[in-house]
Structure 1
């Protein structure tokens, strides 16, 4: 008799959406196309495509992709701290309202709902920061409307928060795949030498894989290694979905 473990299973899926209430946050999602007068500004939607590529390369044991994921995590932490500081200033301003006055939530009557299809966990961490900024924007707009802050303060907070996120998105905008993996560096072959010439040297703890990002992907096993460890009929690899 077949057991329940023998039953075929499909892939797990979840329908995820991001709800945005302010134009300020929507602009950060969309970015800006280049024009004759202004350069391109990457938005979160465009940025995640690059994050997925870096994540996929890191799964293929590319040490340069791993190095970039470490930098990205550090940038995420500093961006989160900057937004928390802005929220703290806003909270202090809104606390000046008298106790008898209830502000309530400042929500859009027709918010924008965006489908979310990310492959890399780090993309979700950036998404959470955009949601934090959207909350900051709608609450700051309410604070200015109710005279708890003045227009220059509102503009400063909105611009400062947006700048932090754009700086995060720009971190990987020039990313290129090195085409080399750690086995290439161990062999010091032509791929490794070419990667060093193009992208520079890496610290030893990144090169040997002892230091990786907190949310770095599991490494894909090469086909020969998988065959040797699992037997000739096994096709067990740690796969990742391709970019959506």
Structure 2
């Protein structure tokens, strides 16, 4: 008979299939981002943001204080973005409240929505997925409000831009993250790797450096043995820069979609 210990050792990882359904081109463009082109910079999308969050979480697991600092910054930015979208949602609901009681209007849904598979390993990645779903809902209601003469074209475009800008500002901040290649032990020893990280990436708040302040979603730190450092900051930064390019996405117009 197998022991409890052997049963635990034979268990695999938990997995759950997840998909995100989007109904508007506006939300789909934010998912994909835009690849850089001649004379035009790229725009990181939600898929690129999620990749950065996964790297950031691994960095925090490896006791990189810069990864912990970035998790705190992203967590604060997520709250700001959530607040901006909630305010926009309230404005849209006020506009839709102008429909007379005698008129019944159903939800504005796409007959062929896009379904995107999700592979997210970081909680801060999921938080942004929820915000994109919220923006998609806002966009659907805005398009419906314009179609039913509750808002004009200028208001439609302005509010769509405000919501999209809030999300892209979040993704743009995340794109600046770089893994230092150092641990807190390096900073305690004030070795060459720590000095190079400070010079390249700047100072850290003392409570973050000491590990007393971390994100509420920070993972447990995995303690490994002494690590050998060979150009840790430069190599890690170069790897990070190569990993966060926005995925290519076809150009689409900024016109609002009309409900079917």
When normalised by structure 2's length, the TM-score is 0.84
Question: For residue 147 of structure 1, what is the aligned residue in structure 2?
Answer: 149
Match of 2:80 among 78, 81, 90: 78
Question: For residue 189 of structure 1, what is the aligned residue in structure 2?
Answer: 191
Q: How many aligned positions are there?
A: 225
**RMSD of equivalent CA atoms:** 1.4
Q: Tell me the SS of whatever aligns to 1:153.
A: helix
Question: For residue 162 of structure 1, what is the aligned residue in structure 2?
Answer: 164
Counting only pairs closer than 5 Å after superposition, residues 84-163 of structure 1 correspond to structure 2 as: 84-163=86-165
Quote the offset at 1:3 in angstroms: 4.1
Q: Tell me the SS of whatever aligns to 1:218.
A: coil
Cα deviation code 1:50-108 (max 9, x no counterpart): 11111110110101111111000000000000000000000111011111211111110
Match of 2:218 among 216, 219, 225: 216
Please state if 1:179 is matched with 2:181: yes
Native 8 Å contact 2:63 2:223 kept in 1: no
Cα deviation code 1:204-235 (max 9, x no counterpart): 100000000111111112248xxxxxxxxxxx
Quote the offset at 1:46 in angstroms: 1.3
- Measured in 2, the distance between the counterparts of 1:78 and 1:222 equals 35
- Measured in 1, the distance between the counterparts of 2:93 and 2:176 equals 37
Match of 1:199 among 201, 207, 212: 201
Quote the offset at 1:37 in angstroms: 2.8
- Measured in 2, the distance between the counterparts of 1:114 and 1:223 equals 40
- Gapped regions of structure 1 (runs ≥ 5): 225-242
Quote the offset at 1:172 in angstroms: 2.0
Please state if 1:33 is matched with 2:38: no
Question: For residue 238 of structure 1, what is the aligned residue in structure 2?
Answer: none
Match of 2:45 among 37, 43, 46: 43
- Measured in 1, the distance between the counterparts of 2:33 and 2:137 equals 19
Quote the offset at 1:163 in angstroms: 0.3
Q: Tell me the SS of whatever aligns to 1:18.
A: strand
Match of 1:19 among 3, 18, 21: 21
Pair 4,102 (structure 1): closer, same or farther in 2 beyond 3 Å: farther
Quote the offset at 1:4 in angstroms: 5.3
Quote the offset at 1:173 in angstroms: 1.3
